[in-house]
Chains A and B, each alone.
Chain A
Amino acid sequence: MSETTRESAPPRAVPLAELAARHGLTVSGARPSLPEYVRQLWGRRHFIVAFSRAKLMAQYGQAKLGQLWQVFTPLLNAFVYFLIFGLVLGGRAGMGNREYIPFLVTGVFVFTFTQASVLAGVKSISGNLGLVRALHFPRASLPIAFSLQQLQQLLYSMIILLVIVVGAGHYPGWTWFLILPALALQLIFNAGLAMAMARLGSNTPDLAQLMPFVLRTWMYASGVMFPLREMLEDRANAPSWVATVLEANPAAVYMDLVRYALIDSDTHNAIPATTWLWALGWAAVIGFGGFLFFWKAEEKYGRG
């Protein structure tokens, strides 16, 4: 190997690392400390928001109806599920249309929020290697931006949802404001999960192929189109602890909270306080844990 450093007649030759230390040079691409990382991330908040909005706009940039698809897509989605689970398969367990339609649409939209965040999160590093290899920014910006993109998508869906809910005869009440904390907690949970998946997906790109299956299983296990407990205990004769466990899963928890907030009927008029605790706990554990897990590999993103 040709060791070619410039000086061959040394006044005082020193190892490179020592030279670096003497002049206060730091290792390029080293992982910043956690507080420093949070500070950098906060400094890039405008980029994160701009990036998420740009992604959202670019999504339907070529369509003739343009941004109207932001609203049509979730509407069509809900319609297809209603056709299959509401009319053909009969998953409504005795709920009338007045209750079932808002129940189903809320479930679909709220679950889609988490589902889409995870799917985008898995690819957020591996699908944006060009960006990661060209510019400096805390890499957590990417999974967070994708979660925010999904939040904005959800807000469009919410317009449809509120129209449907009111159309089904559930009028606005004070409980409607509970959507805000519920969705805020879900956003934190989603962002944490997206960050964790982003790290896993950057090492194992195959996860992007596998995730749709995992997510579909999760969807059926969370009672998106049918009431979970009735379905499990009455139809499948499962022991009641199975339902209890599944009801504590984050997707079911956040769906229950939004349903409770919006739907005005006997089965949705009370919610156990433990559901709020679960929502808080999931957001705190997955939100913070996912962030920590992602930060641990900050300097390694970009290879592959």
Chain B
Amino acid sequence: MADNTPALAADDGRRPTVIAEDLHIVYRVYGAGNRGNATAALRRMVRREPSRRVREVHAVRGVSFVAYRGEAIGLIGTNGSGKSTLLRAIAGLLPAERGRVFTDGQPSLLGVNAALMNDLTGERNVILGGLAMGMTRDQIRARYADIVDFSGINDKGDFISLPMRTYSSGMQARLRFSIAAAKDHDVLMIDEALATGDKKFQRRSEARVRELREEAGTVFLVSHNNRSIRNTCDRVLWLEKGELVMDGPTDQVLKAYEEETGK
């Protein structure tokens, strides 16, 4: 990491869409468990002492790469290797500790889970999720029927007008995916666990992802399923402990990865 020379890349006429330059991401974790009472907090703040329980987790360590228009890039690595963190940093959702990410347009993460509220009806959640992703009211109105049909929530009766907490976990996941997939993106990032719901819904969602890929300029896919990486990606980044181990054509990297992990 003491590598101060900037990474170089050839300007060979292809259009870059995402450039990561020596990117570092650090999470700060405040003490788990007992945090002390209000007077202790006051004392700490008055004395300007940092809390002793802060731990830093260096999740991404000096990653550099250039992604070009038309590429579908897979991210692989064992659990906790920094794949999801890297995606969020590219999307500009996590501030970089050091280094920078340059992007063409606004990359977006496929997912709206965090914006939805379980106590609200499915109907209200469709609207809230759409607005949270930056769609206008008109766009949501235009796509509302498609979203509900695609989710299949109403296949077994009028469930869209019930609170989301009454849904089965499969139904919740289907509705979330349907809302998230309703918007078009420039640079699209997909974080695994897409294959939710039953077989029928899995097939439908895979088809929708393919559509989204065709519309998007560049696609990033995080997955532990090497088959789906092989099916969709032409280039793979292999991360381990936050460092880029390998970057190259899918077959080559997957082969090395499979040898390493002993599969």
Interface residues of A (CB under 8 A from B): 1-7, 9-17, 19-20, 22-30, 43-44, 46-47, 50-51, 54-55, 57-58, 61-62, 128, 130-137, 204-207, 209-210, 212-213, 299-304
User: In the bound complex, how far is the Cα of B243 from the Cα of A212, in angstroms?
Assistant: 43
**Which of A30, A54, A137, A300 contacts B124 (CB under 8 A)?**
A54
Instruction: Looking at the assembled complex, report how far the CB atom of A294 sits from the nearest CB atom of chain B, in whole angstroms.
Output: 15
Who on chain B is nearest to A58 by CB? Answer: B119
Who on chain B is nearest to A10 by CB? Answer: B10
Are B16 and A19 interface neighbours, CB within 8 A? yes
Supposing A5-B66, A44-B134, A135-B112 touch, asked if A210 and B124 sit within 8 A by C-beta, the answer is no
Are A15 and B119 interface neighbours, CB within 8 A? no
Are A19 and B19 interface neighbours, CB within 8 A? yes
**Which of B62, B103, B246 contacts A28 (CB under 8 A)?**
B103
Interface string of B29-46 (1 = CB under 8 A from A): 010000101100110110
Are B101 and A5 interface neighbours, CB within 8 A? no
Are B243 and A2 interface neighbours, CB within 8 A? yes
Are A1 and B62 interface neighbours, CB within 8 A? yes
A-B contact number at CB 8 A: 214
Supposing A25-B19, A28-B101 touch, asked if A210 and B38 sit within 8 A by C-beta, the answer is yes
8 examples of A-B residue contacts, CB within 8 angstroms: A1-B243, A5-B7, A13-B10, A19-B11, A29-B91, A43-B134, A44-B131, A299-B95
Who on chain B is nearest to A5 by CB? Answer: B9
Sorting the interface of chain B by its residue count into under 10, 10 to 19, 20 to 34 or 35 or more gives 35 or more
User: In the bound complex, how far is the Cα of B63 from the Cα of A5, in angstroms?
Assistant: 10
Are A132 and B64 interface neighbours, CB within 8 A? no
Chain A residues lying within 8 Å of B8, measured Cβ to Cβ, are 5, 10, 13-16
Who on chain B is nearest to A204 by CB? Answer: B45
User: In the bound complex, how far is the Cα of B37 from the Cα of A52, in angstroms?
Assistant: 30
**Which of B28, B92, B118, B119 contacts A303 (CB under 8 A)?**
B28
| 13 further interface pairs, Cβ-Cβ under 8 Å (given A29-B89, A54-B117, A206-B44) | A1-B62, A13-B8, A14-B9, A20-B16, A25-B16, A29-B94, A44-B134, A58-B118, A136-B91, A207-B45, A209-B41, A210-B45, A212-B38
Interface residues of B (CB under 8 A from A): 1, 3, 6-12, 15-21, 26-28, 30, 35, 37-38, 41-42, 44-45, 51, 61-62, 64-66, 88-96, 100-104, 106-109, 111-115, 117-120, 124, 127-128, 131-134, 136-137, 163, 243-248
User: In the bound complex, how far is the Cα of B168 from the Cα of A184, in angstroms?
Assistant: 43
A-B pairs, 10 with minimum CB distance:
A29-B92, A61-B119, A20-B102, A28-B92, A130-B114, A7-B10, A13-B8, A25-B102, A47-B131, A58-B119
Are A1 and B3 interface neighbours, CB within 8 A? yes
Are A51 and B132 interface neighbours, CB within 8 A? yes
Are A54 and B120 interface neighbours, CB within 8 A? yes
Are A16 and B93 interface neighbours, CB within 8 A? no
**Which of A20, A134, A301 contacts B19 (CB under 8 A)?**
A20
User: In the bound complex, how far is the Cα of B64 from the Cα of A131, in angstroms?
Assistant: 27
Who on chain B is nearest to A132 by CB? Answer: B93
Instruction: Looking at the assembled complex, report how far the CB atom of A183 sits from the nearest CB atom of chain B, in whole angstroms.
Output: 26
Supposing A135-B109, A135-B112, A210-B38 touch, asked if A28 and B128 sit within 8 A by C-beta, the answer is no
Are B163 and A302 interface neighbours, CB within 8 A? no
Are A28 and B9 interface neighbours, CB within 8 A? no
Chain B residues lying within 8 Å of A5, measured Cβ to Cβ, are 7-9, 64-66, 247
**Which of A62, A136, A204 contacts B119 (CB under 8 A)?**
A62
Chain A residues lying within 8 Å of B91, measured Cβ to Cβ, are 28-29, 136
User: In the bound complex, how far is the Cα of B51 from the Cα of A207, in angstroms?
Assistant: 13
Supposing A2-B244, A16-B19 touch, asked if A23 and B41 sit within 8 A by C-beta, the answer is no
Instruction: Looking at the assembled complex, report how far the CB atom of A161 sits from the nearest CB atom of chain B, in whole angstroms.
Output: 27
Are A133 and B21 interface neighbours, CB within 8 A? no
Are B163 and A61 interface neighbours, CB within 8 A? yes
Instruction: Looking at the assembled complex, report how far the CB atom of B90 sits from the nearest CB atom of chain A, in whole angstroms.
Output: 6
User: In the bound complex, how far is the Cα of B66 from the Cα of A23, in angstroms?
Assistant: 12
Instruction: Looking at the assembled complex, report how far the CB atom of A216 sits from the nearest CB atom of chain B, in whole angstroms.
Output: 11
Instruction: Looking at the assembled complex, report how far the CB atom of A50 sits from the nearest CB atom of chain B, in whole angstroms.
Output: 5
Supposing A209-B35, A210-B41 touch, asked if A1 and B245 sit within 8 A by C-beta, the answer is no
Are A14 and B11 interface neighbours, CB within 8 A? yes
